[in-house]
Structure 1
Amino acid sequence: MQTSIRYNKIIELLENDQIVFAPALVSNGPSDDVTYIADSEYDMIMIEMEHDGFSFESLKATLNTLLNRRRIFENKTLQPDVVPFVRIPPNANEKNQWIIKQTLDTGVYGIIIPHLTTVQDAIEVVSACRYPQLRTSLYTEPAGQRGWSNKYAPRYWGLTPEEYYDACDLWPLNPNGNLILMAIIEDQEGVDNLRDILSSVQGIGIIWAGPGDMAVSMGLGTDSAHPEVQQNLLRILETCKEFGVACATAANTPDQVLLRIEQGFKVIITPVSKSYPGLTAGLDYTQRHKS
């Protein structure tokens, strides 16, 4: 049961069965795309460090670009309007704890792990995202292995180090947590193992059904619209529904946005555009425009 302040708006939306809208991955570094998104009606931003370069200094600059002091003042909340997530370079089975640790230490609210395929990899990724818990904690497994640092993240969240430690556990493993682990299922092994993963491992807040690498891994090249790929995306969705885990996927047109919402996807990823056509269609459909 949640008993503390909710600093992550994405969790609040999912707990209230709302649709979350995200732009397609944005290159790391302060840019026009980042400022457009920061001032938009998107709920989150996904910063790309898997394919577009890996730099913590650029990430810190990107996070600072997202800050809007007037909105913080007017909204009277520490929740970011647009919540920063980062897709890191290593796949889940590479077990690069230090990259997870240093990414979280910049102050992001969500981390995106590519190519999750096995239960053991899920356990190790969850452990890498969590601090070791207090002796009195009710949520001790998987045991946290994240090293402690209070240099950047508490300041970015607007909290004391003690408040940040209390707030930054993984949701929904810890109902009071404010971090989200989003794992991408993007090959046949991941699809086949997803039920075992979600039944065995707590701590994954969102599963992203990824069509691009899914098509490539299935020997279909870049044909992400292939019926076998689409069938796998729906298999992922149905497994997520079974375990009450939000499922994300891409929607490249307004019609696709509406279709994915009707199918039951809870996180809709649309192309970045100054006019936000897919986002606008989704917000119209769900009546979620900001006042």
Structure 2
Amino acid sequence: MPATTRYNKAIQLLEEGKPVFGTGLIWNGNLDEMTYFADSDYDLVMIEMEHEGLSFNNLRTSLQFLLNRKRVIDGGGLQADPTPIVRIPPNTREQNQWVIKQALDTGVYGLILPHLDTVEGAMSAVRAARYPQVPEYYDAADIWPIDPDGNLLLMGIVEEPTGANNLPDILREVKGIGAIWAGPGDMSVAMGHRGNAGHPEVQEMLLRILGICQNAGVPCAVGCTAAEVPMRLEQGFSILITAPTRTAGGLEEGRRISGR
């Protein structure tokens, strides 16, 4: 595969030093949502299986509805736009390699690995994602950046202080982790702040994770609102995960006028 060819748009943008805008997490099997996001301008769509339920059949169907065939034709190549990746159910420490293998068999372009907190768990995930396949598969779908021409993105979520403490070792010893997601939700619980993701100590932890990633040259992701986008870009986050706003203007106006 020529080095200039990129099937994974997110990886292409990261290599070009451009921010990646992703959305999620979209329920696996929600075909209406998949159709909507197929026509959106998001670079990356994250499909949720961690809390939705493990169904590879639903995942295969979801990928078909997320595929924007017109955009592929207009692009003159085979780049997936938006790029589909999936959050798998097992915590990384569980080392359930079969889930990784079967998720990749569906054709996703990357995996989100929950609770990345040890070198051993990270190594297990990378080994599972490089399981033997036909030569054509290796040419197109090896892990980036171990393979500079690879198109599979493994993004680990650091969502506990243990993971943050071990992150320098993880990124130094396991080169197949292509990005890190600094996750505030579970981190706030683990830090004793009961889901208060905005707590100053939690926010400080996110910036600590970002700094570790920057020192290792690894992209760092964070969830944010539209109002927070300028701040997160200025801080240096490479992947911004936002959610489209769902509004009900007519309902709100009617309730306001009627006093309900």
**TM-score of the pair, normalised by structure 1:** 0.81
2:205 matches 1:232 = yes
Instruction: Map residues 152-231 of structure 1 onto 2, 5 A cutoff.
Output: 162-231=135-204
Shift of 1:62: 0.4
Q: Tell me which residue corresponds to 1:256.
A: 228
Q: Tell me which residue corresponds to 2:26.
A: 26
Shift of 1:255: 1.9
Q: State the distance in 2 between where 1:62 and 1:273 align.
A: 22
Shift of 1:8: 0.9
Q: State the distance in 2 between where 1:273 and 1:109 align.
A: 26
1:30/1:65 contact within 8 Å kept = no
Larger radius of gyration: 2
Q: Tell me which residue corresponds to 2:252.
A: none
Q: State the distance in 2 between where 1:103 and 1:171 align.
A: 17
Shift of 1:68: 2.4
Q: State the distance in 2 between where 1:183 and 1:272 align.
A: 23
Q: State the distance in 1 between where 2:106 and 2:54 align.
A: 13
Q: Tell me which residue corresponds to 1:43.
A: 43
1:30/1:62 contact within 8 Å kept = yes
Instruction: Map residues 121-136 of structure 1 onto 2, 5 A cutoff.
Output: 121-130=121-130
2:184/2:203 contact within 8 Å kept = yes
- Per-residue CA deviation, residues 188-215 of structure 1 (Å, 9 max, x unaligned), is 0001110111111111111000000100
State the AA in 1 paired with 2:125. V
2:242 matches 1:270 = yes
Q: State the distance in 1 between where 2:85 and 2:38 align.
A: 13
Q: State the distance in 2 between where 1:82 and 1:117 align.
A: 29
Q: State the distance in 1 between where 2:69 and 2:156 align.
A: 31
2:74 matches 1:70 = no
Q: Secondary structure at the match of 2:123?
A: helix
Q: State the distance in 1 between where 2:87 and 2:170 align.
A: 20
Shift of 1:218: 1.2
Q: State the distance in 2 between where 1:68 and 1:7 align.
A: 14
- Per-residue CA deviation, residues 157-177 of structure 1 (Å, 9 max, x unaligned), is xxxx54322121110111011
State the AA in 2 paired with 1:260. R
Q: State the distance in 1 between where 2:4 and 2:102 align.
A: 25
Shift of 1:32: 2.3
Q: State the distance in 1 between where 2:4 and 2:106 align.
A: 23
Q: State the distance in 1 between where 2:246 and 2:182 align.
A: 25
Shift of 1:5: 2.4
- Aligned residue pairs total 246
Moved more, 163-172 or 80-89: 163-172
1:101/1:147 contact within 8 Å kept = no
How high is the sequence identity, in percent, across the aligned residues? 53
Q: Secondary structure at the match of 1:24?
A: strand
Gaps of 5+ in 1: 131-145, 149-160, 276-291
Shift of 1:73: 1.6
Q: Secondary structure at the match of 1:7?
A: coil
Shift of 1:24: 2.3
Q: Tell me which residue corresponds to 1:100.
A: 100
Q: State the distance in 2 between where 1:216 and 1:164 align.
A: 40
Q: Tell me which residue corresponds to 2:250.
A: none
Q: Secondary structure at the match of 1:25?
A: strand
**TM-score of the pair, normalised by structure 2:** 0.91
